């Protein structure tokens, strides 16, 4: 299919179009503590606590972001993530790698619900800035350690100059008494140069789920860059209507018939951690990556893609590495979703499509 431009659907994944930055520099707030990599008690490997700075959210379904500036004089390689959160407090967390943050503030509202609040708003990353998702967490998922020798490069000689933590607070009753939250992630990193650089590709859709129906939300993109990627982990995410999310590598064989290789399939209402892929064979130029979310509505209304618990999401994250060279320039793969987009549409370039029943666990 024709690759959809990320900006067209950026609202769906809370990478909202940002207001112009008033100041290109962050406020100075304990830079020695907040600058990533500043504490070098270990010469090669360390752990950095990237946590919300004791916030007290008051608005349900609030998305809050906070940034750290990466030390620009050193290359760091993130090799693991240890979450510091529970699903009773945080609906989900995302870690973004940015060229610039979406605001100059210590924290800001970085979700679609921003229009109903008086707080400063903006996207996680700044307008026209480099933006990629480095990690995602939900539903009490455990820590993630990348394969040996694999890391996300940030800092010097990287497009990632800032890290931005986004936390979605679906429910805020526990903060009505003034209680605060420090949900976040302990970043495990090394300064030892790594040649296997990690990347994350997010597949997702727009679209509408009809009332009292089962709907299949699908997305696919062709790998057009001259790179070989090695998938090693995947993660699924929906809200309450999701029954199963599956991801595939699609490749044409010598007879021109497309073969669909399962990368991963999960019930998205189980812990939303990164799981080992079902098949770690390389994905190369000309292959497609594809994802399908099976949604079952018991509601007497349409359910649209959106950020709140009353909306839905269809996400399949594919984590991979490249052996030398840079990760894909393509960070996101989106479709319009139902009722406009399906794999079976004549213009997608897809055929030999798995039966919809094949998505059922």
With beta carbons less than 8 A apart as the criterion, state whether 318 and 203 touch: yes
Q: Which residue in this structure is represented by tokens 């004089």?
A: 73
pLDDT at 145: 94
Query: What was the pLDDT predicted at 356?
Result: 80
Stronger pLDDT, 34 or 203, i.e. the higher one: 203
Among the listed residues 91, 132, 319, 330, the single catalytic one is: 91
92 is in an annotated binding site: yes
Contacts for 23 with CB less than 8 Å, ≥ 6 apart: 104
Residue 67 has pLDDT above 50, yes or no: yes
Looking at 1, 93, 188, 239, which residue is catalytic? 239
For residue 62, give the nearest of 92, 98, 102, 18 by alpha carbon.
Answer: 92
**Residue 1 designated active-site:** no
pLDDT-based confidence at residue 42 (cuts at 50, 70, 90): very low
Q: Report the chain's mean pLDDT, rounded to a whole number.
A: 86
Q: Which domains does the chain have, with CATH numbers?
A: 46-194 (2.60.120.310), 197-335 (2.60.120.230)
Residue where the block lists tokens 């008086």: 118
The backbone torsions φ and ψ at residue 154, rounded to the nearest 5 degrees and listed phi first, read: -140, 160
Give pLDDT, residue 140: 86
216 in active site: no
Which among 132, 188, 237, 319 is annotated as catalytic?
Answer: 237
The reported pLDDT for the residue numbered 241 is 96
- Per-residue pLDDT tens over the stretch 108-136: 999 853 444 445 688 999 998 999 999 99
The answer to the question of whether 168 is labelled as a binding residue is yes
User: What pLDDT shows up at residue 24?
Assistant: 29
Is 159 one of the catalytic residues?
A: no
Could you please report the per-residue DSSP string of 204-270? Answer: EE--EEPTT-EEEEEEEEE--SS--BEEEEEEEE--TTEEEEEEEEEEE-TTS-EEEEEEEEE-TTS
Q: Are the C-beta atoms of residues 311 and 207 closer than 8 Å to each other?
A: no
Kindly name the residue from 52, 92, 188, 295 that is annotated as catalytic: 92
Mean pLDDT of the 56-82 span: 95
Among 313, 310, 249, which Cα is nearest to 280's? 249
Assign 20 a pLDDT band (cuts: 50, 70, 90). Answer: very low
Is the model more confident about 44 or about 291? Answer: 291
Average pLDDT over residues 129-150: 92
In this prediction, residue 309 carries a pLDDT of 82
- Say what the pLDDT of residue 171 is: 87
Active site residue 91: yes
Q: Quick check: bond before 339 cis, omega within 30?
A: yes
Is residue 273 annotated as a catalytic residue, yes or no?
no
Is the pLDDT assigned to residue 57 strictly greater than 50? Answer: yes
Residue 239 is a catalytic residue:
yes
Alpha-carbon span 253 to 168, nearest angstrom: 43
Distance CA 160, CA 69 (A): 9
Q: Using an 8 Å Cβ cutoff, are 238 and 215 in contact?
A: no
User: Which tops the pLDDT comparison, 306 or 11?
Assistant: 306
pLDDT at residue 72, rounded to an integer: 95
- Residue 30's pLDDT band, with cuts at 50, 70 and 90, is very low
> 163 pLDDT exceeds 90?
yes
Decide if pLDDT at 277 tops 60.
yes
Identify the three-state secondary structure at position 1: coil
pLDDT average, residue stretch 182-198? 96
Of the candidates 353, 319, 347, 321, the residue with the CA atom closest to the CA atom of residue 335: 347
- Structure tokens, 250: 């699609």
Q: What is the DSSP string of 5-54?
A: PHHHHGGGGT-PPPPPPS-SS---SSHHHHSBT---SSSSEEEEEEE--S
SS3 at position 205: strand
Q: Binding site annotation covers 130?
A: no
Q: What are the φ/ψ torsions at residue 298 (nearest 5 degrees)? A: -110, 20
Residue 313 in marked binding region: yes
Q: Residue 186 phi/psi, 5° resolution?
A: -90, 115
Catalytic one among 1, 313, 319, 330? 313
Task: Give yes or no for residue 45 having a pLDDT over 90.
Answer: no
């Amino acid at each position: 299919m024709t690759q959809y431009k990320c900006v067209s659907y950026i609202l769906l994944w809370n990478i909202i179009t940002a207001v112009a930055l008033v100041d290109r520099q962050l406020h100075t707030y304990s830079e020695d503590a907040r600058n990533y990599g500043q504490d070098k008690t270990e010469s090669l490997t360390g752990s950095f606590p990237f946590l919300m700075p004791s916030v007290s959210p008051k608005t349900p379904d609030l998305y809050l972001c906070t940034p750290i500036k990466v030390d620009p004089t050193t290359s760091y390689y993130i090799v693991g993530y240890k979450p510091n959160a529970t699903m009773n407090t945080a609906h989900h967390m995302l870690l973004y790698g940015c060229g610039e943050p979406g605001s100059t503030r210590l924290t800001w509202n970085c979700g679609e619900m921003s229009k109903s609040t008086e707080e400063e708003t903006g996207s996680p990353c700044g307008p026209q800035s480099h933006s990629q998702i480095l990690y995602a967490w939900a539903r009490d998922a455990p820590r993630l350690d990348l394969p040996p020798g694999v890391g996300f490069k940030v800092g010097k000689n990287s497009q990632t100059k800032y890290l931005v933590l986004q936390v979605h607070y679906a429910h805020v009753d526990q903060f009505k008494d003034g209680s605060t939250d420090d949900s976040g992630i302990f970043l495990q990193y090394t300064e030892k140069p790594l040649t296997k650089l990690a990347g994350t590709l997010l597949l997702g859709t727009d679209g509408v789920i009809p009332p009292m129906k089962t709907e299949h939300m699908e997305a696919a993109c062709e790998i057009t860059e001259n790179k070989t990627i090695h998938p090693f982990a995947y993660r699924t995410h929906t809200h309450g209507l999701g029954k199963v999310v599956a991801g595939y590598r699609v490749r044409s064989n010598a007879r021109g018939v497309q073969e669909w290789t399962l990368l991963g399939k999960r019930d998205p209402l189980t812990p939303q951690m990164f799981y080992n892929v079902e098949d770690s064979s390389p994905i190369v130029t000309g292959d497609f990556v594809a994802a399908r979310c099976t949604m079952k509505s018991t509601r007497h209304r349409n359910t649209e893609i959106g950020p709140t618990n009353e909306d839905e999401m269809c996400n399949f994250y594919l984590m991979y590495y490249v052996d030398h060279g840079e990760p894909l320039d393509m960070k996101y793969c989106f479709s319009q979703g139902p009722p406009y987009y399906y794999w079976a549409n004549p213009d997608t370039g897809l055929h030999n499509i798995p039966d919809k029943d094949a998505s059922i666990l």
